[in-house]
Structure 1
Amino acid sequence: MMMEPLHTYALTGAAVIDGHGGPPVNDSTVLVDNGVIKAVGSRESIVIEDNIPEIDLGGHFILPGLIDAHVHIVGVGSPELLDNIVESKYLQAMRTVVEAGKLLEYGFTTVRSGGSRFDIFLKRAIEEGTVIGPRILTCGLALGRSRGHGDYIRRDIYDFPEDYLKDNLLKAQLVDGVEEVRKAVRQLIGQNVDHIKFWATGGGAWEKERATDLHFTRAEMEVIMEEAGMVGLPVMCHAESVESVKIAVDLGVRSIEHADDDNGYELDDETCLKMVEKNIFLTPTLAIFYFDLEEGEDILPSWVRSLKRAKKHGVKILLGTDTWADSAT
């Protein structure tokens, strides 16, 4: 016989970290009423009625749910890009169910997708109670240009039909020109996504896909912003050059992802102040860059200075891992 879940209870004895920067509240009480936190404080400050069950969490910590603002839930079994293309999409979809459960188990109650073939449907399954997982902010397949970031199969090495690749890319859909961009955004809106994601630059997968190369024209980016703006959707922009960051900030995206620059250029004061004025977030995704470092390498000092400058001016910085290939879980 399945036990009915508790909706009203008191968690006692734990150290509470409220996320506002203050010291932990030791030997605390957290009172939950019908699934909603009603009171938090020291054990002495909160009265627990006799009919409310207590759960002793002495020796443990309670803190707000963690948020990963840049993750790819794609269910791949290997970090090798070629494997990702040829592997069964049914198998990958089933793996995302496990990934979602692990994210929640590790304390992530909300994640923001940076591009996934499966995130829209995984979110629906979680919301209907079929699957256990965090709240997912979805974008579906992110927008990338042909042969750009997300379209990483070398045509001079591998011979795949183009339609096959388009149907099997894990994170991207390929769009070229303003009308293809417009149609793609409208189709994503029809899939009820929470935001639009696009790659303004490359990602450094190979020599013709350098991280600092612009991958969309300004006109194409303007159409993304126009179409998303008409229905109130925020836009998430991958930008790995200072040039692309400035364009994206000027256009008013909701968040800038990465903001590094392999050529050593730095975010200037003016750009940082514009980000603050427009309430544009910055997601550095430092974890994935450290993960990719070769022995003896380090993060570019110019990028560190950029991030420090942004922080000094008050740019809001998000925690985002940019993880995939199950490295998040």
Structure 2
Amino acid sequence: MSPLPVVLHNARIVDGTGAPPVPDGVLVIEGPTIRWCGPAGEAPDDPDLRRATRVDLGGRTVCPGFIDAHVHFALPGPVESPLAGAGEPVSYRTLKVLERLRVTLHNGVTTARDLMGLDAGFRRAVAERRVAGPRLLVAVSMLSQTAGHADFRLPSGIDALASAVAFPGSPPGIVDTVDDLRTRVRELVAAGADCVKLAASGGVTSPHDQPEWLGLRPEMIRAAVEEAEAYGGLPVAVHAIGEPGIAAAVRAGVRSIEHGYALTDELRAEMAERGQFLVPTLLETMHDPDPSTVPAAVRAKAVHWHRVAQESVARSVQAGIRIAMGTDAGLIASHGQNLKELGLLVRIGGMTPLQAVRAATSDAADLCGVGDTTGSLTAGKAADLVVCGTDPLDDIDSLADPAHVHAVLKEGRVAIDRAGVLTAAGLPDLIP
């Protein structure tokens, strides 16, 4: 690492806490962490900083590294069928995942929560800087009952999730009794899961169910929450689209509702009171499936529920529910386009740009349990930051274009520097 601190100055600071931007800001990086961040007029004056490398950012805006709380790196997005992995060696599937991790990091996401697909080995490889990617949190598997959203067994006998998405050794996703569910949560703990992912409703893409169906019985959801709490307080994230699944999950005390399209005002009030999070995944709803690639029934589900999602989210924001950014990237949305979600939270969700940035930084960090490590430009936290070529509070959609993501740092190391703004800093590369 650089022997002396690096001082980034002449920067507009959006620190991720929801505080107003600092127009003439200074950010001090020391090794992998932030030493100080604030207005230039209040910057500390000590011998180290007087001798530090100083980099003029030319008025660019600096934000915390963004967090996507709902991704699927094992899925390909729109570039190919999600079943393509069924015909590929595991080694080949792994190499494709590595490219998705890289492009996601380079486009501004420094932390991501994979809610089904990746195992703990990917998390370890990223943490050890063997591969480039966001800091990873993994659920490993998604759990539902037979004929629920985790049941992708096809008439041919192929289990599509097991053969095309899951990696060898991952616990299976289908559970049909309370005791089985308790055991499966423990197996996920043993497999290194950072959170537990349940499917409390049917899904759009799953073959045997409907989103308005209850995909896990309430007593099973309660058992999962109890087991997760007993094993270190793991958060429970729940896929829930229709009202029965949402209600069962909210009242079982889960940490987050993923999607939440059919939320009622009563359930919104309960979520706000409990401090539960909603991860709206609007990006996934912006493109209906190609009718040439999916069955007509799947397309019909998507068209209907995508409209419901877009009509629902603003009421959830107005109800005071805590929102965390998530995209469902890999399902329909492309990897690396994660920051498009920010503009959708503003245009469709009615958030201000500052609120949207907070949803993708400090609030998402709190949801994922990494708020002590990242999520804001705060002294002592990891030096995860994005140097923007535009002012995202003036043009939030600009971050959807990677050309405006001028540089990305992760733990004080340069992941990408498109504009060459950090060349003089002497910071090490993320991957030497």
TM-score interval, normalised by the smaller of the two chains: 0.7 to 0.9
Deviations along 1:89-119, one digit per CA (max 9) or x if unpaired, are 2211122222222222222121112111x24
Say whether the 8 Å CA contact 1:222–1:251 is kept in structure 2.
yes
Change over 3 Å in CA distance of 1:201–1:93 after alignment to 2: same
Say whether the 8 Å CA contact 1:67–1:111 is kept in structure 2.
yes
TM-score (norm 1): 0.84
Q: Which moved more, 1:4-13 or 1:51-60?
A: 4-13
Q: Which residue of 1 aligns with 2:139?
A: 139
Note the C-alpha offset of 1:173: 2.2
Note the C-alpha offset of 1:51: 1.8
Q: Which residue of 2 aligns with 1:89?
A: 90
Q: Which residue of 2 aligns with 1:71?
A: 71
Q: Which moved more, 1:136-145 or 1:78-87?
A: 78-87
Which amino acid is 2:276 matched to? I
CA–CA distance in structure 1, aligned partners of residues 20 and 206 of structure 2: 47
Note the C-alpha offset of 1:86: 2.2
Can you give the 5+ residue segments of structure 2 that lack an aligned partner in the other structure?
167-171, 292-302, 337-432
Q: Which residue of 2 aligns with 1:288?
A: 284
CA–CA distance in structure 1, aligned partners of residues 186 and 215 of structure 2: 20
Q: Which residue of 2 aligns with 1:125?
A: 125
The equivalent position to 1:310 in structure 2, one of 286, 308, 316, is 316
Note the C-alpha offset of 1:169: 4.6
Q: Which residue of 1 aligns with 2:240?
A: 239
Aligned residues between the structures: 314
1:37 to 2:38 alignment: no
CA–CA distance in structure 2, aligned partners of residues 292 and 82 of structure 1: 18
Note the C-alpha offset of 1:317: 0.9
Which amino acid is 2:189 matched to? I
Say whether the 8 Å CA contact 1:139–1:197 is kept in structure 2.
yes
Note the C-alpha offset of 1:238: 0.4
Q: Secondary structure at the match of 1:174?
A: coil
Change over 3 Å in CA distance of 1:153–1:192 after alignment to 2: closer
CA–CA distance in structure 2, aligned partners of residues 76 and 64 of structure 1: 27
Deviations along 1:232-252, one digit per CA (max 9) or x if unpaired, are 211100011111111111110
Change over 3 Å in CA distance of 1:132–1:208 after alignment to 2: closer
Alignment of 1:114-193 (within 5 A): 114-116=115-117, 118-155=118-155, 158-160=156-158, 167-170=162-165, 173-193=173-193
CA–CA distance in structure 2, aligned partners of residues 32 and 65 of structure 1: 14
Identity percentage of aligned residues:
30
Q: Which residue of 2 aligns with 1:60?
A: 60
CA RMSD of aligned residues (A): 2.8
Note the C-alpha offset of 1:59: 4.7
Q: Which residue of 2 aligns with 1:18?
A: 15
Say whether the 8 Å CA contact 1:212–1:240 is kept in structure 2.
yes
Which amino acid is 1:256 matched to? I
Q: Which moved more, 1:173-182 or 1:241-250?
A: 173-182
Change over 3 Å in CA distance of 1:12–1:256 after alignment to 2: same
CA–CA distance in structure 2, aligned partners of residues 104 and 123 of structure 1: 14
Change over 3 Å in CA distance of 1:109–1:207 after alignment to 2: closer
CA–CA distance in structure 2, aligned partners of residues 321 and 6 of structure 1: 38
Deviations along 1:264-306, one digit per CA (max 9) or x if unpaired, are xx512x32222122221111111101122789x6876654554
CA–CA distance in structure 1, aligned partners of residues 179 and 305 of structure 2: 38
Q: Which residue of 2 aligns with 1:279?
A: 275
Say whether the 8 Å CA contact 2:218–2:249 is kept in structure 1.
no
Q: Secondary structure at the match of 2:322?
A: coil
Change over 3 Å in CA distance of 1:90–1:317 after alignment to 2: same
Note the C-alpha offset of 1:128: 2.3
Note the C-alpha offset of 1:74: 0.8
Note the C-alpha offset of 1:307: 2.8
Q: Which residue of 1 aligns with 2:296?
A: none
